[in-house]
Amino acid sequence: MNKKVIAALAMMSVFSTYASAAALRVAADAVPHSEILNHIKQTDKKLDLNVIELNGNLNANELLARGDVDANYFQHVPYLRDQEKALGETFSVVATVHIEPLGIYSHKVKSLKDLPDGAQVAVPNNVTNLSRALYLLQANGLLKLNSTRANTLVTSADITDNPHHLKIIEVEAPQLPRALDDAQLAIINGNYALQAGLVPSKDALALEQAKDNPYANVLVTTPKLAKDPRILELAKDLESKQTAEFINQHYRGSVIPVHQ
């Protein structure tokens, strides 16, 4: 073997060692995702985590596709699949962690029984969470859809019976807590409810059920990094009993671990 080949192999070995030892960059929503990751950061000293909190201007799947981060933790699989189609990318799910139950909230009524006819209902405007919101309204007897399967996407066009003449208003998901000042109801994702100071297990008039819920939040990376030791270590931590205990103790039913 000549000296140039030996030198090249040596450089590759150094690079590989450096890459595997580098901090793992994970993009995550502030609540609860970053909080859960920072808990792991404190408890697993073998894992060097760089948690990058997302804001409304950042698309974590675009960051991952560009190589700006190594993984992200903020989304459920139906949303991820829509993103793959939109971006023309393929990603890998490496851990299934928790469910953030979608909730129905109000500043204007104390019970769904008090909801007036013609009430305005603010719902998320992205396809998957709009579908979840409509199924939640159906589960609580407020309307009927042409489907009862939660993994089948629906829109307002699929409403077959609206006895209360509800006015469905689509809103950017992060803005839904603000919609509570105007609409009679707002159906809010768990993370945005928590960020707004709401306690889903206490403040919601109704919550999604965890059983058979297809919207568990997942750790996502690229196929190239799916077997990276750092990714595998984080996936193990996120699905651990210790993390489930942290979620249960810290969020008290507002976030539900998949692996109990």
The whole-number pLDDT of residue 21 equals 62
Ranges of the chain whose pLDDT falls below 50: 3-20
- SS3 state at 93: strand
The whole-number pLDDT of residue 58 equals 87
Measured between alpha carbons, how far is residue 69 from residues 27, 31, 258 in Å?
Answer: 7, 19, 25
The whole-number pLDDT of residue 214 equals 87
The whole-number pLDDT of residue 150 equals 77
- SS3 state at 188: strand
What is the spatial distance between Cα 140 and Cα 54, in angstroms, rounded to a whole number?
33
The whole-number pLDDT of residue 15 equals 37
The whole-number pLDDT of residue 25 equals 98
| DSSP for residue 32 | I
Short-list 222, 191, 204, CA closest to 84: 222
What is the spatial distance between Cα 260 and Cα 244, in angstroms, rounded to a whole number?
6
The whole-number pLDDT of residue 1 equals 52
What is the spatial distance between Cα 246 and Cα 239, in angstroms, rounded to a whole number?
11
The whole-number pLDDT of residue 14 equals 36
The whole-number pLDDT of residue 71 equals 98
The whole-number pLDDT of residue 80 equals 95
CB 231 within 8 A of CB 221: yes
Q: What is the pTM of this model?
A: 0.79
